[in-house]
Amino acid sequence: MNFDFEQLFFYAILICGIIIFTDFLLFSKKRKLNGRKMPAMVDYARCFLPVLLIVFTLRSFIYEPFRIPSGSLKPTLLVGDFILVNKFTYGLRLPILHTKLFAISEPKRGDIVVFRKPPKDSPDLIKRVIGVPGDHIVYKDKQLFINGQAIPQQFEKYDMDQRDNYDPWQVAQKQENLLGVTHDIYQIPARENDDFDVIVPKGHYFMMGDNRDDSADSRVWGFMPEENIIGKATNVLVSFDTLTHPIRWLRTGEKIV
């Protein structure tokens, strides 16, 4: 089940505000004259409202935590990673409405971005920016081309990958240089090629997972609209793997590239 914490905080703030305002207009003066005690509901609303406002502001405009739900970005990000998402890197947006107030920068090739899944707003996804508006993207025989330029891949090793209770399978780990952004990817040698040839339209981005043959991304649901952007992934806060390692201590604070 997916929860929209932004809306949850918004409605909690709204309810607290209504309780406090209603009490101020209708009951507080009479209560003071009669020497009566403040109702618990009003007292709780007054205590929670400042905290809710601070958390809501931080989550909406500055930083937001995000949990990696799948292995589509392996080996860069693992299931159970809790990451920090910078909400102001690309500009400030109104909470709930998601309307951009002003731009600061635009997503670049290689950025890992959290966004609302198109065409629906839920659930939130995280992928790597492969193509920006106007780019000609070709993926052929597991080789990526951007604007006619082959993106270098260097084989590192064979590894094993696994999902849930499925049997593990072999993957080839390679280092890819995405026009200056160097990162690792997984490819499944036994999986058929998923070739495509597209041009990224204006106001959209082409997104892919680093786990190239095990990622539902722009190859499946199309281009990511600019208005769906939530923020840029920056660091791993903490990482949990309940099956083998309760906490992956070495990943704590790791910068995301």
For residue 112, which of 5, 238, 10, 235 has the smallest C-alpha distance? 235
51: buried, middle or exposed (CB in 10 Å: 19+, 13-18, 0-12)? exposed
**Catalytic residue status for 215:** no
Interstrand relation of 100-103 and 91-93 (parallel, antiparallel or unpaired): antiparallel
The catalytic position among 74, 87, 127, 142 is: 127
Q: Report which of 42, 62, 59, 49 is spatially closest to residue 7, judged by C-alpha positions.
A: 59
Q: Kindly name the residue from 72, 215, 218, 239 that is annotated as catalytic.
A: 72
- For residue 127, indicate whether it is catalytic: yes
Q: How many residues does the chain have?
A: 257
Cis preceding-peptide flag for 65 (omega within 30 of 0): no
Q: Are 65 and 92 in contact (CB under 8 A)?
A: no
Give catalytic residues, as residue numbers: 72, 127
